[in-house]
Amino acid sequence: METIDPPHATPQATEFMRVYAHALRWTVGLFTHWHWVPPETASCWHFFCHPSAREVRAVLLYLERVHWWGIVARDPDSAVKAFAKRSREIPIRFVEGDRAHVEALEQSESLLPCGARREPSLVLRRRPAKEVGPLPAGFREARKGDIPAILAYHRQNPGWAAVPSWSDIAYQIEKGVYFVQGSRGSVHALARVTPGGGFRCISDVYTFAPFRRQGHAHTLMRGVLSRSDRAGEDACLCVEATNQPALALYQGLGFSRWDERLVLIWNKQR
């Protein structure tokens, strides 16, 4: 395995990442052009490529603080061969990638520990509408006064990453990636939208408990999609495969299935 120091990768690895940029967006969470990598994000990751016949067929990504592995490959066989080359001394707690590739790892003897929890998800995509709708009432970019609400969301939904700090969220608000739906200074729902590479990648769509079942998520998404339509860019997002209410919401807004993902999670570090 060869270590890649992004964004100054080997030419073969750079070309591989360009071709598979859509998979890298979901795996790394950068959601943008490969050549634009925020230094504070890139420094968290370790990148490894597995060259074969003078070409890169797979890239492994490792996030040390949570023992998280991501796999981006040309095909399931390349995924298995690349993962088999990884150092057995580096722990595993999460493995994520294209569903077929991760399932190939599961079926290969001795590559992964036993007892993983499986979390399948779908990547949905929506083409820009020809007619751009108006921004709905109450929809706007987040302001610094919304930081307490955004922090509350992350504390209630910590996921596998560290809860961002006040300054982290303030920085992202300055970059214009958070949007809210609400009234009279109250945040009812929020979303994070990161543009790049011809996409508006949507994440962290959330409605606070007192405001659920009142249509705020639908209104929020209409605002987000109006902005992506104005930019002429596709919108995409990732949702749990079993979350039927969310799937119904997004499909009703014009999203369709684009990709299948799978995350394996071990409760104890291995």
pLDDT in tens, 97-139: 899 999 999 999 788 988 899 999 998 999 999 888 889 999 9
pLDDT at 33: 36
Q: Which pLDDT tens digit goes with each residue over 49-83? A: 666 656 778 888 787 777 888 888 889 998 998 88
pLDDT band at 196 (very low <50, low <70, confident <90, very high): low
pLDDT tens figures, 197-252: 677 889 899 999 999 999 999 999 999 999 999 999 999 898 999 999 999 999 99
pLDDT of 159 higher than 80? no
Instruction: Give the pLDDT band (50/70/90) at residue 31.
Output: very low
How high is the pLDDT of residue 1? 52
The domain segmentation of the chain, as residue ranges, is 2-120, 139-232
How much of the chain, in percent, has pLDDT values that exceed 70? 79
Tell me the percentage of the chain whose pLDDT exceeds 90: 46
Q: Which tokens is 198 given?
A: 């011809």
Q: Which two tokens stand for residue 188?
A: 């009812």
State the DSSP code for 66: G
Query: What is the Cα–Cα distance from 6 to 17, expressed in whole angstroms?
Result: 11
Task: Give residue 13's pLDDT band: very low, low, confident or very high (50, 70, 90).
Answer: low
pLDDT over 50 (residue 269): no
Sheet with 2-4, side-by-side order of all strands = 2-4, 45-52, 55-63, 68-73, 94-98, 256-265, 117-126, 234-240, 199-207, 186-196, 178-183, 139-141
Q: Of 18-22, 86-90, 260-264, 265-269, which one has max mean pLDDT?
A: 260-264
Domain 139-232 CATH assignment equals 3.40.630.30? yes
Section 1-22 average pLDDT? 60
Averaged pLDDT for residues 5-27: 62
Angstrom distance (rounded) from CA 119 to CA 261 = 8
pLDDT at res. 154: 92
